[in-house]
Structure 1
């Protein structure tokens, strides 16, 4: 889709040459916050891809003189070097002796308590799966 109207109908289009001032004005317009590059390109009568290339060239060249018009950077708090801080942890508690697995089931007025040895926990899990199917 061609969004740039033809100046001369039927005449062969020639490559246009844009002045550095024109390019700088178009790129500066793109740098404003909230401005669409496509809108700037249409307003200046150029292709958006061409404008994007100009903006990228300016961003790649540090001495171009154009800067983005963004708020000034907030001063960062001074960063300190990360240091290792040793912590003393309490001694591990004595291992808890294995106790039995106790399951209490209640259905209406009926209550059932099942005690299963902890050493056979996998069998208890299989029994529970079968029970809850």
Structure 2
């Protein structure tokens, strides 16, 4: 008869756990990749996170970063230009930009 081998659970020290959790706290870090690289199941690392007080430490919320845009290559069009096509028929409409609200009303009526 074969004797059944008893599997022993691996034990990890607090320092090792803290190292893994700090690696997971890095921006862009993949918990699954980190766990796999250390030969640990990701579920174990998730358990350590819960035991340590929940989620990973919250990094600073992303702040607004202004992005300078180059000046527009073309000045804004002074008129609204609409081209409607249906089969072989094509209709081109030019509407003054100052009357954009009336253009919207006309388009809603047209598309009913």
* TM-score tier (shorter): 0.3 to 0.5
TM-score relative to the length of structure 2: 0.44
TM-score relative to the length of structure 1: 0.38
> Which one scores higher on RCO, CA 8 angstroms, separation ≥ 6?
1
For the pair shown, the structure with the greater C-alpha radius of gyration is 1
